Amino acid sequence: MRFAIVVSEWNTEVTEALYNGAKETLMKFGVKEDDVVRRNVPGSFELTLGAQLMAERKEFDGIICIGVVIQGETKHFDFICDAVSQGITNLNIKYNLPVIFGVLTPNTMQQALDRAGGVHGNKGDEAAITAIKMAVLKKELEA
């Protein structure tokens, strides 16, 4: 199987840890390193277009979107989280392809770090497992 991982460059300490968790998990389950393609986008809002551009290539069994949006004092958090979750949902349907929401939405940076290899594990790992399971389900149902 081949997977694309689209990674937000915002909050790189967190997104790099999530990316590493996702990539390591894909490889642990037999995906070859050359079959994991990474592309960066500036922020979480851009994950949807980045994932769409990858989906249009029709080369991947799944796409994992990695990002983090930390709650602030303005409504920016709400708008970004809503746009990204809706955008990723729409891509799943439009391309009939697993596009996985690997975006953390914590209240604090510490909560993000706790979920990027800290006390709550690595949500990048969970996103990769979800991508594999959904790609297998799609292949089984198409067979």
Contact 72, 108 (CB under 8 A): no
The catalytically annotated residue of 28, 39, 57, 76 is 76
Cα 20 from Cα 24, distance rounded (Å): 6
Positive or negative, the CA dihedral 74, 15, 35, 121 is: negative
The per-residue DSSP string of 27-56 comes to HHTT--GGGEEEEEESSGGGHHHHHHHHHT
Q: Is 114 helix (H, G, I), strand (E, B) or coil?
A: helix
Indicate if 76 belongs to the active site: yes
For 32, 35, 58, 97, 122, the CA distances from 94, given in Å and listed in that order, are: 27, 23, 12, 8, 29
Active site residues: 76
